[in-house]
Amino acid sequence: MRPRLLGWLLALPATLAVAVFLGLPVLSTLSTTVTQSDGVFATYSEFFGSGFRRTVLWRTTEIALITTLISALIGFITAYVVSRTPGRMKSLLIIAAVFPLLTGVVVRSFAWLIILGRNGILNEFLQWTGIITEPLSMLYTEGSVIVAMVYLFVPLMILTCVGVLEGIPEDLLQASSSLGASPFATFWQVIFPLAVPGLIVGAVLVFTGSFTSYATPHLLGGEAQMMMGTFLHQRAMVTFDWIGASTIAAIMTVVTIAIVLVMSKIARRLNPAAV
């Protein structure tokens, strides 16, 4: 058998699985939003015409952006320290980052439910220290969703950046300092530019992950802080408005794919060799 044909044959089952069980269902969901009888983009003008729906979209974008920025900042600095930590200690730190990542989203969001609840640990602690007298309502706020999301995504950011930072040769840093650059200058002028592609990959993962998340906004945001994921579920399973749910699904898909394409293009331009 010709090698090319054999290659195709071996790749065929997986390709078919993706086409039939991912491609067709998702395309059919997306297409129902433009094949409605009352105009091609009726569902979209309905979506963007509603103040409430715009608010949900805006809140989701805002929370995802803030989560991405905070995760990138904390994650990058931490990754830098991890990448410069010698031997055994480094493996330990990597384990400490991988462990939460492999622990489910529900479990990790649940932890914040115990911490931020009305009778939660933080409230009890603050009352014990006398800083507050009445428990604060921290759950079901934008802040609680962001804290839990940052908690979810920082490990991902750390691991993505450690991989890139480790690839930067030590000689380069020594050359920089031997030429008289301060550690600060070395960090910003040598390390940072070389690590940008990793930072971008991490940021894309964090943004798309938080933009499309369900469990965290559901648990920590509740009805008050509805995001696109929880909104989609509510439309589909509570009000059975499948067209409305499909519209939300379409917007989520378009935003996700657009972000991935644009950012990977930027990363490629910044560092053609790395990506």
Partner 1 sequence: MKTRPHFLLVAFATLVFLFLVGPLVIIIGASLSDTSFLTFPPRGITLHWYQNIFEISAFRRTMVTSASLALIGTALSLLVGIPAAYALNRYRIELPPFLSTVFVLPILVPEIVLGFSLMKSITTTMGVPVYTTLIIGHALLVLPYCVRVVSASLSSFDFSIEEAAVSLGCPRWKAFFTIVLPNVKAGVIAAFILALITSINDVSVSLFLTGPGVSTLPIQLLAHMEQFFDPTIAAVSVLLMLVTVGVMAVVELTLGLTFLTK
Tell me which residues in 207-226 interact with partner 1 (CB under 8 A). 208, 211-215, 218-219
Query: Is residue 49 involved in binding partner 1 (CB under 8 A)?
Result: no
CA distances from 150 to 35, 57, 64, 145, 210 (A): 38, 19, 10, 9, 9
138/113 Cα distance (integer angstroms): 10
- Distance in Å, CB of 66 to partner 1, minimum: 17
Question: Looking up tokens 């993706």, which residue turns up?
Answer: 18
Type of residue found at 213:
S
Reference 134, options 120, 123, 143, 122; nearest CA is 123
Query: Is residue 154 involved in binding partner 1 (CB under 8 A)?
Result: yes
Q: Following DSSP, what letter does each residue of 61-85 receive, concatenated?
A: HHHHHHHHHHHHHHHHHHHHHHHTS
Q: Following DSSP, what letter does each residue of 162-227 receive, concatenated?
A: HHHHHTS-HHHHHHHHHTT--HHHHIIIIIHHHHHHHHHHHHHHHHHHHHT--HHIIIIITTTT--
Instruction: State which residue, 51 or 86, has the beta carbon closest to partner 1.
Output: 86
64, 72, 162, 267: which one contacts partner 1 (CB under 8 A)? 162
Type of residue found at 206:
V
Site for partner 1, residues 50 to 79, rule: CB under 8 A? 74, 77-78
54, 84, 137, 169: which one contacts partner 1 (CB under 8 A)? 84
The helix/strand/coil state of 37 is coil
Chain mean position to CA 186:
29
Query: Is residue 89 involved in binding partner 1 (CB under 8 A)?
Result: no
236, 263, 266, 270: which one contacts partner 1 (CB under 8 A)? 236
Query: Is residue 137 involved in binding partner 1 (CB under 8 A)?
Result: no
Query: Is residue 256 involved in binding partner 1 (CB under 8 A)?
Result: yes
Instruction: State which residue, 51 or 206, has the beta carbon closest to partner 1.
Output: 206
Site for partner 1, residues 168 to 207, rule: CB under 8 A? 170, 173-174, 177, 183, 186
Query: Is residue 26 involved in binding partner 1 (CB under 8 A)?
Result: yes
61/134 Cα distance (integer angstroms): 33
Site for partner 1, residues 100 to 129, rule: CB under 8 A? 100, 102-108, 110-115, 117, 119, 121
36, 61, 141, 253: which one contacts partner 1 (CB under 8 A)? 253
Query: Is residue 99 involved in binding partner 1 (CB under 8 A)?
Result: yes
56, 63, 82, 195: which one contacts partner 1 (CB under 8 A)? 82
